[in-house]
């Protein structure tokens, strides 16, 4: 090869090599969300692609809202019965307290359920309906004791339900509601136990208030 040909080849290389290096590298294939999603959840799940959980209700949230709604509705209906049929004044007052507190709780619960897209039951379940029918057939001290016994059982279940939601729910709004409700339900449980102690003679009933004192 002549000197002229060699010089020409060097010039071509000098021009072409920078052009090749300056070319844009091939783009990688678009990322697929399922590769970072071991559970293969729907990529449209709120918050999934941002790397943090969304506020959508999971199964625990849905069951919690429905069960709490049934129980709280029952508290209102049974509390009204206690106000009508309770013999001991403490039972009557406890029933009225349940009506007031659970009516307020039911309003908040309905709003939380709407925001979570959960439709709440409008009727009692078979267990609470059976309790309501049984209490309707009782009177006097038999009513008082059966009502308070059912209240202790129901509030124990409610406490467990709330704790489970706080630990296993997904929706932040629903979990916050459960956390805010738990102290009130625990207080109701202690109140029911105190009334039960009066009914069984463990604690004497409080004397009636004297006007002016």
Is the full-model pTM beyond 0.75? no
For residue 88, the model assigns a pLDDT of: 95
Chain mean position to CA 188 = 19
For position 87, what pLDDT does the model report? 94
| Four-residue CA torsion sign, 115, 121, 127, 130 | positive
pLDDT of residue 202: 75
Structure-block tokens of residue 134:
């049984």
Q: What is the pLDDT of residue 21?
A: 43
Q: Domain 59-199 belongs to what architecture? A: Up-down Bundle (1.20)
> Per-domain residue ranges for the chain?
59-199
Predicted pLDDT at 203: 66
Which of 47-51, 54-58, 61-65, 92-96 shows the lowest per-residue confidence on average (mean pLDDT)? Answer: 47-51
| CA dihedral (45, 46, 48, 50) positive or negative | positive
């Amino acid at each position: 090869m002549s000197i002229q040909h060699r010089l020409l080849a060097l010039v071509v290389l000098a021009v072409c090599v920078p052009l090749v290096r300056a070319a844009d590298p091939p783009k990688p294939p678009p990322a697929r969300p399922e590769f970072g999603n071991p559970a293969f959840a729907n990529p449209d799940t709120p918050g999934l692609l941002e790397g943090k959980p969304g506020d959508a209700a999971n199964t625990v949230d849905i069951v919690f809202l429905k069960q709490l709604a049934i129980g709280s509705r029952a508290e209102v209906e049974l509390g009204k019965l206690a106000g009508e049929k309770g013999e001991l004044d403490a039972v009557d007052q406890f029933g009225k307290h349940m009506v007031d507190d659970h009516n307020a709780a039911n309003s908040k619960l309905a709003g939380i359920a709407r925001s979570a897209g959960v439709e709440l039951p409008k009727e009692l379940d078979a267990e609470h309906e059976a309790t309501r029918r049984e209490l309707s057939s009782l009177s006097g001290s038999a009513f008082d004791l059966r009502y308070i016994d059912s209240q202790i059982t129901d509030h124990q279940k409610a406490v467990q339900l709330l704790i489970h939601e706080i630990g296993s729910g997904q929706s932040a709004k629903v979990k916050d509601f459960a956390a805010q409700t738990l102290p009130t339900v625990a207080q109701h449980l202690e109140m029911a136990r105190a009334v039960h102690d009066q009914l069984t003679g463990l604690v004497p009933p409080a004397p009636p208030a004297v006007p002016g004192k």
